[in-house]
Amino acid sequence: MPKNNKFTFEISLSVLDHLGRNLYRSFITVLGEAVSNSWDADAKNVWIYIDRDRNSFFIKDDGVGMTADDFQSKFLKIGYSKRKEGQVSSPKGRPYIGRKGIGKLALLSCAEKVSVISKISGGDYVGGVIDNSGLNQAITNDLTPQEYQLGNLNLAVFNPYTEDHDKGTIIYFENIKDGIRNSLEFLQKIIALYFRFSLLDDSFDIFLDNEKITLDHLNELAQDTQFLWNINGLDDPYITEKLTNLKEPQKSIEMAGDVKGFIASVSKPSKLKITTTDERASVDLFVNGRLRERDILRHIPTARIAENYFYGQIHFNNLDDEKDRFATSREGIIANDPRYQEFLENLRRKISEILEDWDKWRLKHKKEGDQESERISKKERASIGLYNAVSGEYDLSEDSENKRKVDGWVNDLSEDAAFNFESYAECFISENLVRRYINEKSISITPIAQTEINEWKTRETTHKQEGNINIDIRKNNDDLSYLDMSYLVKQADTAGVQNTLHNDAKEYRPIRNAVAHTALLTDEAKRKLTSVYENIKARIKILLS
């Protein structure tokens, strides 16, 4: 039978209210506080039972439990912390997560009524009922802690959760204030993502409605992950067991400070969204296995699209020392802390490197990269994008025996294609601008140029007849469209030999023709074409101005 002692809070009720009974903004925060308490109590197991119909849930653990004195002098003493007594780890050697001793306020924030029972091995249950409506009235009436006593327990409420419960704590939350809107699927993924100590420590397991939370609940996220950056050699089973189908081998990066972690990228930002919710996976900061800061990248924004593809975890245990850096709300770190600021600056530098890798790898795998990156020119980026779009039309089905071979051919062409696409665009624009200039200036076509035009017209007529084509091919039937740069410049640029397009056009013509005939250029030809084109472009701009 439970001992219904007259338990009271060991703090002024008005101070308790001022400390923040309403600071805890999310259901996950409350779960996190309860699970962290179980960890600190050396529990092997935590069971979470959701009753959506009754808008309630239970959290049960098999930790060391509490005596009546423990419940009164420790649990109900807001501000009590084992760390203040010089203890930094549990008898099992687990680093304590609890710090301020006010985290239990989270347990008051989400329900109208909270019932707590606990017992040590061989003992009886002790505990009480915290009725928030009664507590609100007591605060309004300015009662002393001794004048507001916790309600008596009804142990039957906890059936069947007390069966075979030798020791530990059970908490019952009745009438969740905001309701339980989260699906079981959501909670499974969130617990797997955020309560990392449960997946990294074999001696601690979390169950949701009797289903053990494992890495398998992250399978969908893992399957959608393309790239991975491992920070300072993090050894994590999620990386070694689940991220086995990456598009690129994971990249190891070194970061200053006693930091470990990983950043991963998915194929689409939508893959980070957890189904049926507004939640999305992000890059989060953990300290001693506990989530301390969601979406850490929001503190070092780059306005780069790649950030929308990233998720991961950064573990920085050195933030947890004798100095208190954690916000009272339990949902962040004090922003101006020097060690935290140094960490953010180090992370900012690494994110810059990761962004460049991401852009390179995305383009390699025929996906849109980072348009803001200056790693390559805008022209080259556009050429790569066009090639990827066109070559994608030649993707073979997965069951084709030639798929690997053809994909290899396409990849081999990509570098040359980017250059040729860009070169053709330059040729198209520059030659058509010169044609417009000639027409605008009403420059007469020379006899030599007219002969060239006639020859190309004759060839075209012959080819149309052979192909049984009866439509017009060239827009407006402009004769100048039959002339390439070498002839066009003789029409357009008559300023003199030393400052004309003539010589450049002569060098330009054979390489330009090779590009037009879809040939692959040598490196020397690429360099020559690039330098000659720059000269031609500069002269054309002078003509047009």
- Residue-by-residue pLDDT tens, the chain, 545 positions: 455 578 888 766 766 666 555 555 567 778 888 888 899 899 999 999 999 888 899 999 999 999 999 999 888 887 656 555 556 778 888 877 765 556 677 677 678 899 999 999 999 999 999 888 888 788 778 887 788 889 899 899 999 999 999 999 999 999 987 777 777 888 888 888 887 665 567 889 999 999 999 999 999 999 999 999 999 999 998 999 999 999 999 999 999 888 999 999 999 999 988 665 667 889 998 887 778 888 899 888 877 889 999 999 999 888 766 555 555 444 556 667 788 889 999 999 999 999 999 999 999 888 888 888 888 889 999 999 999 999 989 999 989 999 999 999 999 999 899 999 999 999 999 999 999 999 999 999 999 999 999 999 999 999 999 999 999 898 878 899 999 998 998 888 776 544 556 778 888 889 999 999 999 999 999 999 999 999 889 888 988 88
Cα separation, 401 vs 416, whole angstroms: 26
Of the candidates 376, 365, 378, 361, which has an alpha carbon nearest to the alpha carbon of residue 306? 361
| Residues 33 and 162 both lie in one domain | yes
DSSP state of 468: T
Q: Is residue 438 part of a domain?
A: yes
Residues 114 and 138 in one domain: yes
Half-sphere exposure of 535 (CA within 13 A, CB side): 18
Phi, psi of 483 (to 5 degrees): -105, 140
Which residue, of 181, 203, 225, is where some domain finishes? 181
Res 475: pLDDT: 86
pLDDT of the residue at 521:
93
Q: Is residue 169 part of a domain?
A: yes
Q: Could you tell me if 12 and 155 lie in one domain? A: yes
- Is residue 132 within 8 A of residue 16, CB to CB? The reply is no
Give the pLDDT confidence score for residue 495 in this predicted structure: 64
Domain-located, residue 203:
no
Residue span of the structural domain in which 510 resides? 378-544
Packing angle between helix 403-440 and helix 378-391, nearest 10 degrees?
130
- In this prediction the pTM is 0.79
Instruction: Tell me, yes or no, whether 193 lies in a domain.
Output: no
Residues 334 and 406 in one domain: no
Q: Do both 267 and 311 map to the same domain?
A: yes
Q: Token pair for residue 192?
A: 């797997």
Same structural domain, 142 and 285: no
Q: Are residues 99 and 228 in the same domain?
A: no
Last residue of a domain, one of 164, 181, 198: 181
Residue 290 domain flag: yes
What amino acid occupies position 88? V
Question: What does the DSSP assignment read for 303-348?
Answer: --GGGGGEEEEEE-GGGSSSS--B-TTSS-B-TT-HHHHHHHHHHH
Secondary structure of residue 111 in the 3-state scheme? strand
pLDDT computed for residue 496 by the predictor:
53
Local structure of 84: helix, strand or coil:
helix
**Looking at this protein, which amino acid is placed at residue 354?**
I
What CATH number is associated with residue 165?
Answer: 3.30.565.10
Rounded CA separation 48/58 (Å):
6
Q: Is residue 325 part of a domain?
A: yes
Are 338 and 403 part of one and the same domain? no
* Residues 383 and 344 both lie in one domain: no
Same-domain status, 411 and 320: no
* Residues 10 and 27 grouped into a single domain: yes
- pLDDT at site 304: 84
Same domain, 392 and 304: no
Domain end point (choices 340, 370, 400) = 370
Residue 274: which CATH number? 3.30.230
Three-class SS of residue 378? helix
- The reply to whether 384 falls in a domain is yes
Query: Domains in the chain: how many in total?
Result: 3
What are the tokens at 52? 């959506």
Q: Is residue 195 part of a domain?
A: no
Q: Which residues are registered as beta bridge partners of 61? A: 46
